[in-house]
Amino acid sequence: MMNERRAKVDESGLFAALPTIDEEVSRRLHRRLVEAANAAGVLDVAYRTIDTPVGALLLAATQKGLVRVAYASQDHDRVLNGLARDVSPRILQDPARLDRVAREIEEYFAGRRRVFGVPLDLQLSHGFRRTVLSHLREIGYGQTASYAAVAKASGNPKAVRAVGSACASNPLPVVVPCHRVVRSDGTMGQYVGGVEAKDALLALEATA
Amino acid sequence: MASRGYTEGRRKRVEPRGTRASSSRTTELRRLPSVSQKPFEEIVAEHGPTVLRVCRAVLGPVDAEDAWSETFLAALSAYPRLRAGSNIEAWLVTVAHRKALDHVRAASRRPIATNELPERPARDSGSAGWESGVWKALEALPLKQRQTIAYHYLVGMPYLQVAQIVGGSQDAARRAAADGIATLRQTLLKGESR
């Protein structure tokens, strides 16, 4: 019905000259909206994507800090929908808020950075999983720890499987280094971004 | 005449003019967060172009982008409290309607300075020519005719919905749009044949 009505107008040709939005106007309006939203404090989640040697990474930040990093294999649209549900639907693409973390990740993949300095927002992780994540940050660059060791450090030596699921649900891979957790027998184990990505990160840290 | 909000089902909102979305509208819209809302980025991508066309048709080139920005900022602010299943397009057009009214009122309060507008650079790139053609014809129409034409013909809203936004009856909205279109046809087609 809607199309019929529009078609009727198009036939009359009255609005043919009324411009549709072009890319330049669209970009300008978007930028303006982002600026106004930041100034008004209503942009709850800003995001952008960056290209890395392990594929496109989605980066999302609240006003508190980096809240989500996601691999392409995790489906960025799905991740954004999850953020809308779990954090806030007030989400806009805003590369500027993620400039610093993007730069740090770029430096990391170039072998020029060993520690991330950006503030983190761990609100997507709760309870024991959050405890595990805080201990992951103690595993230094180029080192690895076993799931059992992380369980012990997190105060529950029997919770080896729970450490595994905490790593698998890490909302901040790469930055919170769950890739440094390996099996006790020395084999790599699973990874949220796929085994190849884990291999690439460990190889990078071993050589840089 | 208070501008009436877009009504979903039987819900009606009557809002004081000129209030910011973050104050009175906030309390009116407060409800449980809906189950799953899209990221607002998608709302901008889907509905941004339509809302800009509406702003251009109602306000013209000078104020259209300001009204668009105010509309989406207010919408972003209120978005988490929007009822699940709401007609997003109708909601945005309702907000745009109010923001456009603010501009019309502000313009009517401005002292008339004939050379003020032409001196302002047209920020509307990619729209070369429409200011002197379609907009000139639209601008000559009464405001209500411009509004009803924009909401019905550009957005594709049924007259019942148009009436809910502009106020008055469905028939009055239909008549306003028909009168406006008739005048436009005369002006524009006459211009073409010259």
Q: Could you tell me which chain B residue has the CA closest to the CA of A39?
A: B73
Residue B109's pLDDT band (cuts 50, 70, 90): confident
Interface mutation target, options B38, B53, B76, chain A, most CBs of A under 10 Å: B76
Neighboring chain A residues of B135 at a CB cutoff of 8 Å: 18
Interface confidence, given as ipTM, is 0.90
**Residue B29 falls inside a structural domain:** no
Contact status of B124 with chain A (Cβ, < 8 Å): yes
Mean pLDDT calculated for residue range B14-30: 42
Long-range CB contacts for residues B166-175, cutoff 8 Å, separation at least 24: B166/B3, B166/B97, B167/B1, B167/B2, B167/B3, B167/B4, B173/B148, B174/B148
CATH topology of domain A127-207: Arc Repressor Mutant, subunit A (1.10.10)
CB-CB under 8 Å, B154 with A19: no
**Residue B51 falls inside a structural domain:** yes
Backbone angles phi, psi at A93, to 5 degrees: -75, 120
Q: What is the pLDDT of residues A170-207, one digit of tens each?
A: 999 999 999 999 998 888 888 999 999 999 999 999 98
CATH topology of domain A23-109: Double Stranded RNA Binding Domain (3.30.160)
**Whole-prediction pTM:** 0.82
**Residue B24 falls inside a structural domain:** no
CB-CB under 8 Å, A33 with B69: yes
Residue B192's pLDDT band (cuts 50, 70, 90): low
Contact status of A37 with chain B (Cβ, < 8 Å): yes
- Per-residue model confidence (pLDDT) at position B107: 81
Mean pLDDT calculated for residue range B126-137: 68
What domain range includes position B51?
36-193
Q: Measure the CA–CA gap between B152 and A93, rounded to whole angstroms.
A: 31
Judge whether residue B135 has pLDDT over 60.
yes
In chain A, the percentage of residues whose pLDDT exceeds 70 is: 89
- Where b means 16+ CB within 10 Å and e means fewer, A73-109 reads ebebeebbbbbbeebbbbbbbbeebbeebbebbeebb
Question: Cβ distance B143 to B176 under 8 Å?
Answer: no
Q: What is the CATH number of the domain that holds B147?
A: 1.20.140
Judge whether residue B123 has pLDDT over 80.
no
The A residues from 2 to 31 touching B (CB cutoff 8 Å) are 2-3, 5-6, 8-9, 12, 14-15, 17-22, 24-26, 28-30
Q: Could you tell me which chain B residue has the CA closest to the CA of A80?
A: B39
Neighboring chain A residues of B154 at a CB cutoff of 8 Å: 9, 15, 18
Q: Where are the alpha helices (DSSP H) in A126-194?
A: 127-136, 147-153, 160-168
Judge whether residue A99 has pLDDT over 60.
yes
CB-CB under 8 Å, A30 with B73: no
The B residues from 137 to 166 touching A (CB cutoff 8 Å) are 152-154, 156
- HEC profile of A183-199: CCCCCCCCCCCCHHHHH
**Residue B158 falls inside a structural domain:** yes
Q: What is the pLDDT of residues A120-163, one digit of tens each?
A: 999 999 999 999 999 999 999 999 999 999 999 999 999 999 99
Question: Cβ distance B76 to A43 under 8 Å?
Answer: yes
Q: Which residue has the tokens 């000139």?
A: B136
Residues of chain A with CATH 1.10.10.10: 127-207
- Per-residue model confidence (pLDDT) at position A189: 87
Which residues does B54 contact at the CB level (< 8 Å), separation at least 6?
A: B93, B96, B100, B150, B151, B154, B155
Residue B113's pLDDT band (cuts 50, 70, 90): low
The A residues from 59 to 88 touching B (CB cutoff 8 Å) are 80-81, 83-85, 88
Residues of chain A with CATH 3.30.160: 23-109
Measured between its terminal Cα atoms, the distance across chain B in Å is 41
Mean pLDDT calculated for residue range B129-158: 88
Residue type, A131: T
What integer best gives the mean pLDDT of chain A?
Answer: 91
In chain B, the percentage of residues whose pLDDT exceeds 90 is: 54
Among A34-43, B75-84, B118-127, the least confident range: B118-127
Q: What is the pLDDT of residues B34-82, one digit of tens each?
A: 468 999 999 999 999 999 999 999 999 889 999 999 999 999 999 999 9
CB-CB under 8 Å, B40 with A92: yes
Which of B130, B156, B181 lies nearest to residue A6, judging by beta carbons? B156
**Residue B152 falls inside a structural domain:** yes
What is the number of domains present in chain B?
1
